[in-house]
Structure 1
Amino acid sequence: MSEVKIIVDGMTLSYEGLFDAAELYKMIDQFFWEKGYDKREIQNMEKVEQTGKYIELELQPYKKLSDYAKVIIRIYIRMFDVKEVEVEKDGQQIRLNQGRLNLIFDGFLETDYEGRWESKPMYVFMRTVFDKFIYKTYTAKYESILTEEIHHLHSQIKSFLNLYRYTAPIEEKGWNA
């Protein structure tokens, strides 16, 4: 059985306002593709409520760094009260989403993910010794890679959402659609 170590636990990002949900998903997907992660979507749920849509996504992309270690990034995306609104941008009307977003980022380092060191008790002991003394530098390097990538994704999403912060729906500007 593999050993999973929590590296980043519960990093959050909250946003309320205008955003493009489809573009947000594309941007996250593009980030993982560029970084060499294998895509894994655990949950994709959408519920229509009186106040708007409730959308919940759980993504767990992973990347194998070696035959012994892989990193997993788990992202919970929750969208509340999502409504579609029209916005005028550069003289053209575009459709965006308005609502609240809550993103939670977790990062894990999984070692011996193929279970090669679990067949005999002596191997388990040897793995523990190797982890503590020999693989320690590699593990530290993998942890820093994971932390950097999560912080980079967090800042990219934050910048992406900031693009929409100063755009107001047509109804709020007092124009008639």
Structure 2
Amino acid sequence: MSGDQGSHANNDGRAEQAAQRRERLAGQRDRAALARDQVSKQRDQAAEQRWAAAQEQAAAAETDRRIHDLLWAAEQRDRAAAQRQEHLSALGEEVACELAVLAGEREQAATERAVLRELLAQLRAQHLAEHADREHHHQQAASDRQASAAAERRTRQRPSREQEARQYGER
């Protein structure tokens, strides 16, 4: 083998190695870009989840407010019936029928209040469970973002093409 052929073979080998390094670096850049895209998608999903949670909370707050309004109205009806009952009981037997009606109204109001209180308790328990679930998902997403950021930092710490080329004496 003459000197020119050996030199040419060495140049071909170095060129092949450089091409392989460039391919590896391009693959690393592609993986880093894919990781950034995934992080971006995760951020978008987290934002959508926060928006949906806010909408659910608004609906839950409205439901809670309406049930409280119904409970307040039942309490007002009970108070009014109690006042009428007290007033009529002083009038004697001629109003016994009205007193029986008022007693029925009060019993109905008490039943409504009990049902509404139970409904409120169930809703609150459900809201607490949903809140705990959202908090768990939020913490999991934060952990995922931290892991992605750490991977991103590791990817950025790798040498650039030019730095690697200089390191191996290429241009």
TM-score, normalising length: structure 1: 0.34
Rg: which structure is higher? 2
User: With CA pairs under 8 Å and 6+ residues apart, which has the higher RCO, 1 or 2?
Assistant: 2
> Which structure has more helix as a fraction of its residues?
2
TM-score, normalising length: structure 2: 0.35
> Which structure has more strand as a fraction of its residues?
1
